[in-house]
Amino acid sequence: MTRLLRRCVIAGGTGSVGSMFAALLAKAGAEVSLIDLHFSAVKYKLVQCDITSPTPEAAAAIQSADLVMLSLPEEAALHAVFPVSRLMKSDSLLVHTLSVQKPMALEIEALGISQEVVGLNPMFAPDLGIAGRPVAAIIRNEGPRAAELLDLLSGLGGRVERLEAEEHDGLVAAMQALTHASILSFGLALSALHVDIAKLSALAPPPHSTLLALLARISSGTPEVYWDVQTANPNASTARSMLIAAADRLHVLTTAEPAFHDFTDVLNTIREMFGDELASYQALCSSIFKGSSRIL
């Protein structure tokens, strides 16, 4: 049961991320209200309005809230933070769920917002559930409500990892932009090879089947989500450039006077990058390969 976060308002609460946090807060005993541009059949009180220009009803909800969450696209969140923060109680908590954290951190600093602020980025699709999954937390103006929120997420099984805004954006470029770019590039190359996918699937060894599964998930997802991953984070273009350079280097290593010892050096460099995490990832790979009949 929440002690300090009794009334919670989520702007953009009918979206997938907002809906997840609404359910988690309600499960912890909070009274949850949503503010959204679009009407949706939800079990929480819903105020239909543009959060950047709150109606009297929306303003009243924000003024009485212990927590206000902006679960919005970056542009909308950056436009909403000023009017919302001015309506909030001085001891309430402002939360945002942006996948890129530094612009909001700079905006909050420029506005001189005095309330507790937490940026949350769940590093998983909401439909997978929070149990055992990481949530990045970027805290400004730390206080008791922020602490209660993070404790709540941890108590529900989430793995809360505290980061600075710039550190977060660099890591996310590697974790999401680089990963998705690698998978999409694999898909484009595979398509260009014009192979029979049915025969490929019948013969595919575990690594290939795993990549096919990831490719199927991303290519069947919402395009806007994956476009945002590649375009919203200013570090994403650097990550893609590194991917292109790495593919070029591998190509040169294996075609222009190929030298096995140079190739071996590449593998050694990559293996050493893992440090003490190598064994755990070897075990994870083994577990993944054994866990699906498709890739056995």
Looking at residue 173, the DSSP 8-state letter turns out to be I
Q: List the alpha helices (DSSP H) in 93-162.
A: 102-111, 144-155
Q: Name the domain boundary from 163, 183, 207.
A: 163
pLDDT band for position 17 (50/70/90)?
A: very high
Is residue 188 located within the same domain as residue 159? no
Residue 2 lies in a domain: no
The number of folded domains in the chain is 2
Is residue 109 located within the same domain as residue 184? no
Is residue 30 located within the same domain as residue 158? yes
- Per-residue pLDDT tens digits for 92-132: 999 999 999 999 999 999 999 999 999 999 999 899 999 99
Q: Name the domain boundary from 147, 163, 179.
A: 163
Residue 185 lies in a domain: yes
Q: Name the domain boundary from 138, 163, 188.
A: 163
C-alpha 134/C-alpha 171 separation (Å) is: 13
Q: Distance between terminal CA atoms of the chain?
A: 45
Which pLDDT score, from 0 to 100, does residue 260 have?
92
Please state the pTM of the whole predicted model: 0.88
C-alpha 276/C-alpha 287 separation (Å) is: 19
Q: Which of 35-44, 79-88, 165-174 has the lowest mean pLDDT?
A: 35-44
Is residue 65 located within the same domain as residue 209? no
Which CATH number is 112's domain given? 3.40.50.720
The mean of the pLDDT values for the chain is 94
Cα torsion angle, 139, 145, 150, 153, sign? negative
C-alpha 31/C-alpha 41 separation (Å) is: 17
Question: Is the pLDDT reported for residue 294 higher than 90?
Answer: no
- Per-residue pLDDT tens digits for 28-62: 999 999 999 987 777 899 999 999 999 999 999 99
Residue 199 lies in a domain: yes
Residue 1 lies in a domain: no
∠ CA 29-95-92 to the nearest 5 degrees?
70
Is residue 218 located within the same domain as residue 273? yes
Residue 240 lies in a domain: yes
∠ CA 62-66-70 to the nearest 5 degrees?
55
Enter the tokens of residue 252. 């040169």
pLDDT band for position 225 (50/70/90)?
A: confident
Which residues constitute the domain of residue 232? 167-295
Residue 222 lies in a domain: yes
Q: Which helix (H) or strand (E) holds 52?
A: none
Residue 144 lies in a domain: yes
Is residue 145 located within the same domain as residue 178? no
Is residue 14 located within the same domain as residue 159? yes
Residue 39 lies in a domain: yes
Amino acid (one-letter) located at 296: L
Is residue 129 located within the same domain as residue 212? no
